[in-house]
Amino acid sequence: MGFPIDKKQLSAAIFVGAKPAATMTTEDSDVVQVDRAAMFPVWIAVAGGCGYTPLAPGTAGSLAAAILFGVACFGVIGRSRGEVGELPLGLILAVAGAIIFAVCTIGTWASGRAEIFFGRHDDGRIVIDEVAGQWINLVPVLLFLPALSTDLISLFFAVVTGFVLFRVFDIWKPGAIRWTERRFEGGWGVMADDIMAGVHGACLLGLGLWLWSGTTLALALTEALSTTGNLAMNYFEGGWA
């Protein structure tokens, strides 16, 4: 996956510090010394090791992200004792948004550094983009969490459906997803297409959850959102009153 970066041995030397503590072997069997500090962005880019999975590292990164997301949802439900409506949905979305923004920002930086380290653009071992895209893709689950909290099996299938949708869009890369992949370079070039894949998946997943939820549960979602501001309330009243 990806294509070679010219003069990768020279580029890899950027990572050499005053006191090298490790070595790496390039594709040309050249051994270069690297500082342990240089491994930090690489560790982020490979999502803590998911990128080193022998088969389908992108799927491994996406699966890890989906599992973490599901565990977080179960944690929120457990904390509220099944009454997610008692928690401010706006706060949940704000925290999720901040985490996703941080992952996208740090992931862009780490991916750019990891590209130099591996000597390839969008190297297959770089999977932090899949983590970010998967979490963006699963945001609609948070919107419908009050409804899903009453049926944990539905929550499970919602997360699984989101995981599959993201992988389909990430591999297929239709329209704007393919365009972003070709349009940008460096770390942003690694992240952009997966972010777009996440947006596409989120739209489809959100539509599916809306059709599944029915009017009664959708109004329950509206009631939960009203605790965080009248803007969301007015929108839902206008559409579903």
pLDDT band at 210 (very low <50, low <70, confident <90, very high): confident
Percent of the chain surpassing pLDDT 70: 70
pLDDT band at 82 (very low <50, low <70, confident <90, very high): low
Task: Indicate if the pLDDT at residue 212 is higher than 60.
Answer: yes
E-only strand ranges, the chain:
3-4, 22-25, 31-34, 120-121
CA distance 201 to 167: 9
Residue 106, CB-side half-sphere exposure with 13 Å CA sphere: 17
Percent of the chain surpassing pLDDT 90: 52
How much is the pLDDT for 91? 86
Number of domains in the chain: 1
Q: Which residue segment(s) compose the domain that 194 sits in?
A: 3-240
Task: Indicate if the pLDDT at residue 10 is higher than 60.
Answer: no
pLDDT band at 86 (very low <50, low <70, confident <90, very high): low
Output 148 or 82, whichever has higher pLDDT. 148
CA distance 173 to 115: 21
- pLDDT tens track for 168-205: 999 999 999 999 999 999 999 999 999 999 999 999 99
Task: Indicate if the pLDDT at residue 123 is higher than 50.
Answer: yes
How much is the pLDDT for 76? 83
Output 132 or 213, whichever has higher pLDDT. 132
